[in-house]
Amino acid sequence: MTPRKVCIKCMGSHQNLTPGTNFQSDFLSVIDFTTVDPTKDFGLEWYEGTLQMSYSDFDKEKGCFKITLEHFRINNSRIWVSAENSKEPDIDTLNHVMRSKILCTKWVHIHVKQDG
């Protein structure tokens, strides 16, 4: 199976992303990255840690994984994730502090922005 590819699409103010050694990055403006090992869990943070996403529980047989989104402050920051062909968010912090969902897809789009 090929490594899981994740497309980052940041909207709103500038986002800093430091993938570290578990990622291979291709671009700087819109960041495409793939995990070196899809079985290793990882987490990403935005807006000084007030928005977080974690990737975990990769299932080699099914190609599925768990995404957890967390929003730690009451403000108009928002994070949502959509699978490769979804027209709507598959998981969203719009009305929730924390959400988790199992996704079975090759591509994931992560959207981070300030609503309001």
Locate the domains of the chain by residue range: 5-114
Q: Phi-psi category of 86—alpha, beta or left, where left has phi over 0 and alpha has psi -120 to 50?
A: beta
Which residue reads 């299932």 in tokens? 59
Q: Which residue has better confidence, 22 or 63? A: 63
pLDDT band at 34 (very low <50, low <70, confident <90, very high): low
| Contact by Cβ (8 Å): 50, 73 | yes
Residues 3-29: what's their mean pLDDT?
Answer: 41
Q: Which residue has the higher pLDDT, 33 or 67?
A: 67
CA distance 116 to 75: 10
Query: What is the overall mean pLDDT for the chain?
Result: 73
CA distance 1 to 84: 17
* Each residue's pLDDT tens digit, 59-89: 999 989 999 999 987 777 888 898 888 888 9
pTM beyond 0.75: no
